[in-house]
Structure 1
Amino acid sequence: MDTFLLSGGNVLVRLEPSAGTIFNRNIFAVSMAGEVLWQIDESSHGTQADKPFMSLYRDENDQVVVGCWNGVTYAVDVENGKIRVIQFDR
């Protein structure tokens, strides 16, 4: 299921990749006018080729957080789509 999140007048969108499709940069910021502002950085962790982002949410501190297939949780800079590790789950 695709996920949408409002952030600072923009919409963050997480697209669910089709089975068998490698689409690791599957989160975008889109303006209300429909312009794609950025596409998330790919996770540099893990050795597998297929490692899409599986979740998109705000934490208790109002920080945008994404969970990756490879077991790493990242905070997202909503201005540019850059990610930084906040937790290793595996």
Structure 2
Amino acid sequence: MAADNPRKQNVSIVFWPKFNDSVTSTKKRFMNVGSYRVDQQKIIFETGKFIEFDFSVQDTLVFDGKIIVLLDVSGNIRFNRNVYAIDFNGELLWQIERSENLDLIGYCPFISVEAQNPKLVSFNWCGFKFIIDPDTGKVIESIFTK
């Protein structure tokens, strides 16, 4: 059975004393989205707190009062659990549950997250659609789409 990247995903929540735009540069991916903003591997809140992941943030989605975070796992890194939920205080709520079936297939990171009301849905590299419990990160259903 193949395993996720042996390096455990570290998530740091840090208090950042000033909220300003000096963090941005032309080299960084940056966007303002409501009361938080994304800057490469960080989600920065207006309160000054930020949460930092080991990989760049590919996309975020506000769903059911949570921020769903999709990390960009590319290259030779094998990491299939790249969907997280955080609250608007920067607290980590969950990481998508591990799927042994996908570990057997191999490299199958998630490539999108979307709201298909009232469901939270994510698609992965191997052609599966997942319906995810937004409160726990558990996979409710997986459907092969290709």
Q: TM-score, normalised by structure 2?
A: 0.55
Tell me which protein shows more helix as a share of its residues: 2
2:78 is the alignment partner of 1:22: yes
Q: CA deviation at 1:42?
A: 2.6
- 2:107 is matched with which residue? 50
Provide the rounded CA distance (Å) in 2 between the counterparts of 1:44 and 1:65. 19
Matching residue's letter, 1:83? V
Root-mean-square deviation (Å) = 1.7
Q: What secondary structure sits across from 1:45 in the alignment? A: helix
2:104 is the alignment partner of 1:38: no
1:3-22 to structure 2, matched below 5 A, reads: 3-22=59-78
Q: Which 5+ residue runs of structure 1 have no aligned equivalent?
A: none
Q: CA deviation at 1:69?
A: 1.4
Q: Which 5+ residue runs of structure 2 have no aligned equivalent?
A: 1-56
Greater RCO structure (CA 8 Å; 6+ sep) = 1
Larger radius of gyration: 2
**Once the two structures are aligned, what percentage of the paired residues are identical?**
31
Matching residue's letter, 2:114? Y
Matching residue's letter, 1:73? K
Q: TM-score, normalised by structure 1?
A: 0.86
Q: CA deviation at 1:86?
A: 4.5
